[in-house]
């Protein structure tokens, strides 16, 4: 019998407009709601990311973060 999908955690999330648009697009294309899409991405994080690209993008994001907050 398949395991029932339950969303057991809720937490407030602040996202950029670009990030939210990307999440909505991914969720719509996958046939999921935004919470299910986030669960999928984080449950399969290692298999859906390229660690080299991820850390390069993270460094870039962090370097621009202070300017984006203003």
Give DSSP secondary structure letters for 4-68: PP-----------HHHHHHHHHHHHHHT--HHHHHHHHHHTHHHH--HHHHHHHHHHHHHHHHHH
Instruction: With respect to residue 4, please indicate whether it lies within any of the assigned structural domains.
Output: no
Q: What is the pLDDT of residues 22-35, one digit of tens each?
A: 999 999 999 999 98
* Residue 56 covered by a domain: yes
User: What is the rounded average pLDDT of the residues 7-20?
Assistant: 86
Residue 1 lies in a domain: no
* Domains of the chain: total: 1
When pLDDT is cut at 50, 70 and 90, the band that residue 7 belongs to is confident
For residue 9, being part of any structural domain is answered with no
Is residue 33 in some structural domain? Answer: yes
Using CB atoms within 10 A of its CB, is residue 37 exposed (0-12), middle (13-18) or buried (19+)?
Answer: buried
**Rounded distance between C-alpha atoms, residue 5 and residue 23, angstroms:** 20
The 10s digit of each residue's pLDDT in 42-55 is: 999 999 999 999 99
Predicted local confidence at residue 63, as pLDDT: 93
Domain span at residue 28? 17-69
Is the pLDDT assigned to residue 1 strictly greater than 60?
no
């Amino acid at each position: 019998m398949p395991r029932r999908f339950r969303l057991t955690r809720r937490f407030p999330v602040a996202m950029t407009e670009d990030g939210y648009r990307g999440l909505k697009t991914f969720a719509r294309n996958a046939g999921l709601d935004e919470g299910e899409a986030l669960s999928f991405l984080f449950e399969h994080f290692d298999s859906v990311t390229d660690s080299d690209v991820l850390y390069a993008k993270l460094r870039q994001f962090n370097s621009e973060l202070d300017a984006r907050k203003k």
